[in-house]
A and B are shown apart, each in its own frame.
Chain A
Amino acid sequence: MEWISLVLFTVLAEAAVGLVAVYGLYGLTAAAREKAGAYGKLGNAVYLTAGCTTAVAVVISLFHLGWPLFAPRVLMGLGSSALSWEVELTGLFTACALFLWWVSRSRPVAPWLTGLCAALGIAATYFSGTIYAMPSIPANNNAFPVVLFLISALVTGAAILLLLLAMTEAGKTLAPQWLGNLSLLTLGGVFLAGITTLTYVSAAAAGAPEAQQQAAHISGSSLHLIRMVAGLLLPGAVLAWMARRPRNAVSTALLVVAVLLAGEIAGRFLFFESTVFTGINSGL
């Protein structure tokens, strides 16, 4: 259970980042301009969900530390440590999301502020992936951790926006125009996540001996099967059905969010747990 706090922190924070980013992206659509009032009200729910989710994720992350009370010290390591950047940017993203929620209660949020909030979150996710791209972990010493984390943000964020479309009045107003293509976008993200995961495992299997051992550990794990089948294939099938026959139902959207998050948590747990470090004469 050593990794559980890091798993929950990264997955939840990425979901929140993805939610703001996809919401910001949909601000560029004709429907958002035509129904500006509904788009603004949906933003209220988006910022609150994102801010609260990230705040909870940050609190959970503290349980990974030996001395959580001294966590603010990480803000001093911006010179070289990606972890410091991740924490700082995640904190700024959380503050920004909560500030925009407060602003959106009384007036519409300027698009550039949504863009700024999303950019802070994407930068935090980038640094989050960079942390684990270490020479001491040959399978991860590449762009894959960053790419996997960013795709995870896209998929989970888009799915939560689907849920907000079904749960809020503003969402229901926008759903006729958004539901089909948002389902398609999420489906595309799921497809991309599957391809990237398989590429990551294949690249590791063709790499250094330590990476090969990590690939064998991943592909032989039941968590990998859970992620690929329950976390990607199942939501993929539901999303394909939603894209074909758009139906704004809370139960369907909730199912997609639940299985996607469960799949991401299984995959992330495996990402941490399967790590094979550079071997010192360990027969590699």
Chain B
Amino acid sequence: MPKQLGFHHNMANCIGCKSCQMACKNEYELEAEVNWRRVYPFREDPGTPERNFLSVACNHCENPECARVCPVGAYTKRADGIVEQNHDKCIGCRLCTMACPYGAARYSPAHRKASKCELCKTRLDAGLKPACVEACPARALTLVDLDQFAAPGAVKSVPGFPNSNITNPSIRFTPPVVGKQFRRDA
């Protein structure tokens, strides 16, 4: 049965604490300049007072650009949809870092190679959750199988997110909820 693992980011729950980003860095001991997961401030409407956030890593796309452009065939897609990178094959040409619309592949000046989130495949194989998902205190980030995922209100894209038609990314969002403001009458 086909399977496509991906992330569901519930932006209504996300408080922008960057625990997911830190958990990823700690799990893989990434250097200071390399972040496989990044949390961006999300401002759909600068006029509203809410602070919302977007947490993005590799989206394990259906049609990954990294795999298309890589000249050494370092990127492959597993049966469960994870786009994995054979780090030993990488020659550090940086083409994947240019081609990914989400900036998922990051170049490490120390290792002189590119690397990216592999959805904690070894943790998954051991029956654990991805480090970022486990670290999220607000339960804003979850691992889902997109072939069975059907959350009400979930969407494929949010404003500011690159056109999802390019690679068909395996991420779904629950957009932030505009809060109700209570004001004292003048």
Contacts and interface: CB of A to CB of B under 8 A. Distances in A.
Q: Do A and B bind each other?
A: yes
Interface of A: 64-68, 70-71, 73-74, 76-77, 79-84, 87, 131-132, 134-137, 275, 277-284
Judged by DSSP, the binding face of A is: loop
A83 B71 contact: yes
A5 to B, nearest CB: 11
B69 A82 contact: yes
A80 B43 CA distance: 37
Interface string B103-141: 100010001110000000000000000000000000000
24 contacts: A66-B90, A66-B91, A66-B92, A67-B91, A71-B91, A74-B71, A74-B91, A80-B69, A81-B68, A82-B69, A83-B93, A83-B95, A84-B71, A87-B71, A134-B69, A135-B166, A135-B167, A136-B99, A136-B162, A137-B98, A279-B160, A280-B54, A281-B40, A281-B43
Q: Which 8 A-B pairs have the closest CB atoms?
A: A66-B92, A66-B112, A281-B160, A278-B162, A77-B71, A74-B71, A81-B71, A83-B71
B62 interface: no
Interface string B23-54: 00000000000000000111100000000001
Contacts of A131: 69, 95
A82 B56 CA distance: 28
Contacts of B40: 280-282
Contact of B111 (A66, A79, A275): A66
Contact of A74 (B67, B93, B98): B93
Contacts of B68: 80-81
Contact of B91 (A65, A80, A132): A65
Given A280-B103, A284-B160, A73 B112 contact: no
Nearest to A70: B91
Given A66-B94, A80-B68, 16 more contacts: A66-B90, A66-B93, A68-B91, A73-B72, A76-B71, A84-B71, A135-B65, A135-B166, A136-B101, A136-B162, A136-B166, A277-B98, A277-B101, A278-B101, A282-B40, A282-B160
Contacts of B112: 66-67
B93 to A, nearest CB: 6
Nearest to B100: A136
Q: Determine which residue in B65, B71, B112 has the highest number of CB atoms from chain A within 10 A of its CB, and name it.
A: B71
A79 B71 CA distance: 9
Nearest to A82: B69
A277 B103 CA distance: 8
B149 interface: no
A76 B73 CA distance: 7
B78 interface: no
B71 to A, nearest CB: 4
A4 to B, nearest CB: 14
A87 B91 CA distance: 14
B65 to A, nearest CB: 7
Nearest to B53: A281
Contacts of A84: 71
Contacts of B70: 77, 81
B91 A279 contact: no
Contacts of A65: 91-93
A134 B69 CA distance: 9
Interface string B64-93: 010111111100000000000000011111
Nearest to B114: A66
A106 B181 CA distance: 88
Contacts of A71: 91
A64 B43 contact: no
Contacts of A277: 98, 101, 103
A281 B161 contact: yes
A136 B42 CA distance: 20
Given A66-B113, A280-B162, A73 B89 contact: yes
